[in-house]
Amino acid sequence: MELSKEDRLVKNDILARIMLKVSSFPSMPQTGVKLMALLEQKDIAIDEITQVMRHDPGLTANVLKLANSAYFGIPSKIGSLKHAVMFLGLKRFTQIVIAACVSDHMDGAVEGYDLPPGELWHHSIAVSNAAEALAKYNKNITAEDVFTPALLHDMGKLVLGTFVKEEFHNIKKITAQGVPLEVAENMILGTDHAEIGAQILANWSFPSDVIDAVRWHHNPERIKNSKLQTEIVYLSNLLCQACDNGDSAERKSLMPSAVVLDRLGIKSDQYELISNKVSIWLNKLADSLTFD
């Protein structure tokens, strides 16, 4: 449907305000930035890592809390950063630091999407869990490769929520016709939460494969040579949405693309098994994943 000149001007104004909010979105904590850069080097000493972290006691506390949370299921209590690095390994430790850096943003309520406090954070952790399970079915990717993009896939909602709230009735009219939310967002706002999330991560200097996985997590089929990360984040997000939704018609609409399943080498019976496991895990999700 072609927009009128007046509607185009309104849409352009909304998009300009959105991009202004993206540019003013808080940066990743400097401790996290320094640590990510440090961990890209080889032969990093544990003392170098703890030296960087000691300047941010708040982040350190969150890292240790998450390391001891239900998600990671570590049998013994981790009481220090040194212990965490030694026990988890550098890659897993880096993932926990990233999670701790974004937890304050993602643990609050998100207006526009009707997400109460903690729900976005819990969903993001759940999608990470599903993504790691899916990665085990493909020898060309590891669980460590999918944790971060799966965790951050809905970051754009933190910016777009205000604008979705403003245009709720117009967006609702479109989604009521069976149009996916991200498509309705684009029609009314000129962008969607996946695109905005990718822009935030680009501003934070994340690797391009993480940015792409976030950008295309609703429609990996739209890009040629889609990477496994993108497809796994797409599929894990669908799994968790289906588990969260009790309506059978809505669950049916969340069935994954057969093309993506084929690319990942996952058969329908395997997908059902993974779906059941994710559903069980979600039911056990505890408040320990919420930061005070």
Radius of gyration of the chain (CA): 19
| β-bridge partners, 115 | 110
Q: Where are the alpha helices (DSSP H) in 68-113?
A: 81-88, 90-106
Q: Residue 283's pLDDT is what?
A: 67
| β-bridge partners, 110 | 115
Q: What letters, b where the CB count within 10 A reaches 16 and e where it falls short, cover 2-23?
A: eeeeeeeeebeebeeebeeebe
Q: Residue 158's pLDDT is what?
A: 96
Say if residues 193 and 154 touch (Cβ distance below 8 Å): yes
Alpha-carbon distance of 211 to 57, in angstroms, equals: 29
Please enumerate in sequence order all residues whose Cβ is within 8 A of that of 231, keeping only pairs 6 or more positions apart, or say none: 220, 260, 263, 264
Domains of the chain: 5-27+107-289 (1.10.3210.10)
DSSP one-letter code for 227: -
From 193, 190, 197, select the one nearest 181 (Cα to Cα): 193
DSSP one-letter code for 176: T
**CA dihedral angle for residue 292, residue 28, residue 205, residue 264, rounded to 10 degrees:** 0
Q: Residue 287's pLDDT is what?
A: 44
pTM: 0.86
Alpha-carbon distance of 101 to 32, in angstroms, equals: 7
Q: Encode the chain (292 residues) as per-residue pLDDT tens digits.
A: 555 656 666 677 889 999 999 999 998 888 888 887 777 777 788 888 888 888 888 888 888 888 887 666 666 788 888 888 888 888 888 888 888 888 888 889 999 999 999 899 888 988 988 888 888 877 888 888 899 999 999 999 999 999 999 999 999 999 999 899 999 999 999 999 999 999 999 999 888 999 999 999 998 887 777 788 999 999 989 988 877 664 444 445 577 888 888 888 888 788 778 777 777 766 665 444 444 4
The pair of structure tokens assigned to 37 is 């850069």
